[in-house]
Amino acid sequence: MMKKLSLLFIVFISTLSFAQTEDALVFFEAKDPATVSAALANPITILTQPALNRKNAQGIVIDARDVPLNETYKAAIDAATGISVLAKSKWMNAVYVRGTETNINNLLNLTFVTDVEFADKTLNRPTAGREFTPNKFEIENQSRPIYNYGSATNQTEMINVDYLHENDYIGEDIIVAFMDNGYPNVLSNPAYADLRNEGRLLGWYDFVARVENPNGTGSHGANTFSDAAGFLDGQFVGTAPGASYYLYVTEDDNSETPAEEAYWVEALERADSLGVYVTNTSLGYQAFDNSSFDHNYTDLDGLTTIAARGSNAGFDKGMINVTSAGNQGNDFGKVATPADAHGSFTIGAVDANENYVSFSSRGPNAAGVIKPDVMAKGLDAAIVSQNGNVTTASGTSFSSPITAGAVASLWSAVPHLKNDVVMQTIRESADRFNNPTDQYGYGIPNFGDALDALLLLGVEDQLQTNNFALYPNPVTTQINISFPAAAENAEFALYNVLGEKILQTNINTLKNSVDVSGLSSGMYIASITSNYKTTSYKIIKE
């Protein structure tokens, strides 16, 4: 009897200990100024040359967030009683830990720990997480390649990616990173033979198991990856067959916890440091094994979750983070995270006839931001399986990489243009841009139209490095003004064809757009004055 009671007691204690286990972000004090200064003075010590090239081309500032966090601090946290460090983030200057509530709170006694943010929000202090800097808003090269898209024809032509490929924009010199649960057989799958042979499969890492292995815990990543990178002559062509790729495992199929959001942010930071332009995330988080960690709708405001904060920082650093909207249209309904983030380019799902599919999660996010951004095929999308067979699969998991590859191919035409310009041009090419909805967002994009618009803007950008540039033109609702390096403030005026001034406002590098939605269609003259110099532009209002 005593033996049985002892066994019951042990089981009870074990269960109780499990119930008390919590997850949390632990924030560090500001990085050492001397370390930061030394790193920023010689940024090649913290970033690769491709990363520096990408940032320089776009004018992206290298700052303290790019400097690695203090590894001594991380080691001290890992050595603390009852604490396991699962992930780290230089952008957030924090580590993601697991332990009891008491042991995690005890970390606040360490002089370098400034705050703790529990995944179970009921345990948090009002100031939890405020240390993070606020968000500011995924072949062979040929000349004019002609592809037989095979089973991928419908999903490719729907968003006019074939137009990009016909003009030899296939993602060349653009690096894409995939975040998913695993990519089994990627080193032998015939769909990636060209990718491997040409040295464009740049590397892989499993952030969950902490090993350099692409296999992970599932094959979902192998399927999503094919929609951007796959190539089987005459059978299947992904949307960025000429891009280069990193493969990261951030999803653990054995459990569902916010730790996976932290793994994802760490992978995003790795991607940025390696010069990645585009990321694809066919993952979303809202409900967890421990319901205390669940995100409710108010959490999905694009700023609050770990993943949203990471996506916003990644966007701020110059990447386009393409993210599936989620498949909760028939239950939770709304987009999860990181799809809610302002810095995510969120993709919903339509069928072969461009009709909304009911499983596709809807917007807006809790802050009212339009989500999804755009749509692509997600019902019966063509994929290449982990065994090299062409088949179909459904979900926004596939509309996302179809779009991510399209973004990479588009950006390869104008790699010097900033991410926000590329994203906004894609939105404006979509068929519902002037009438967005909760189901479709801005609708189905036309990457051919986006290419034409960006090539024109790119020419203007290169020819007018010392002048302002206005886009889009023709304009429907809002005109944006790109500032030259020598100007920070300007006066914007708009005149009708009779020479009458109808609008005047001050603009600057942060407030650089003007609402013209209320104007009648026709021609106008825009005048921009800065540094005692005035330049005029002809504007067409549609």
Q: What is the pLDDT of residues 407-420, one digit of tens each?
A: 999 999 999 899 99
pLDDT digits (tens, 9 = 90+) for 314-336: 999 999 999 999 999 999 999 99
Domains 153-455 and 465-541 share a fold: no
Percent of the chain predicted with pLDDT > 90 = 73
pLDDT digits (tens, 9 = 90+) for 220-250: 999 999 999 999 999 999 999 999 999 999 9
Q: How far apart are CA 150 and CA 434, in angstroms?
A: 33
CATH hierarchy code of domain 465-541: 2.60.40.10
Q: How far apart are CA 64 and CA 411, in angstroms?
A: 27
Q: 63-72, 128-137, 435-444: which has the minimum mean pLDDT?
A: 128-137
- Mean pLDDT, the chain, rounded, equals 89
Q: Phi/psi of residue 266, each to 5°?
A: -65, -40
For residues 37-56, give the mean pLDDT.
90
Question: What's the maximum distance between 2 C-alpha atoms anywhere in the chain?
Answer: 101
Q: Which CATH architecture has domain 153-455?
A: 3-Layer(aba) Sandwich (3.40)
499: phi > 0 → left, psi -120 to 50 → alpha, else beta; which?
left
Angle (CA) 471 63 488, round 5°: 40
Q: How far apart are CA 315 and CA 276, in angstroms?
A: 11
Q: Phi/psi of residue 401, each to 5°?
A: -70, -30
Question: Does residue 147 register a pLDDT over 90?
Answer: no
Residue 145 pLDDT class (50, 70, 90 cuts): low
For residues 505-526, give the mean pLDDT.
90
Answer whether 401's CB lies under 8 Å from 224's CB: yes
Q: Where are the domains of the chain?
A: 153-455, 465-541
Question: Does residue 134 register a pLDDT over 70?
Answer: no
Strand order in the sheet with 533-541: 501-508, 489-495, 522-530, 533-541
pLDDT digits (tens, 9 = 90+) for 461-507: 554 556 787 888 889 889 988 888 778 899 999 998 788 899 999 99
DSSP string, 360-412: S-B---TT----S-EEEE-SSEEEE-TTS-EEEE-SHHHHHHHHHHHHHHHHT
Q: 28-37, 129-138, 340-349: which has the minimum mean pLDDT?
A: 129-138
Q: Strands, E, within 131-181: which ranges? A: 175-180
462-471 long-range contacts (CB < 8 A, ≥24 apart) are 462/416, 467/535, 468/528, 468/530, 468/535, 468/537, 470/526, 470/537, 470/539, 471/421, 471/425
Which position has the higher pLDDT, 485 or 53? 53
Percent of the chain predicted with pLDDT > 70 = 91
HSE at residue 40, side-chain half, CA atoms within 13 A, is 13
Question: Does residue 392 register a pLDDT over 90?
Answer: yes
Question: Does residue 262 register a pLDDT over 70?
Answer: yes
Q: How many CB atoms lie within 10 A of CB 209?
A: 13
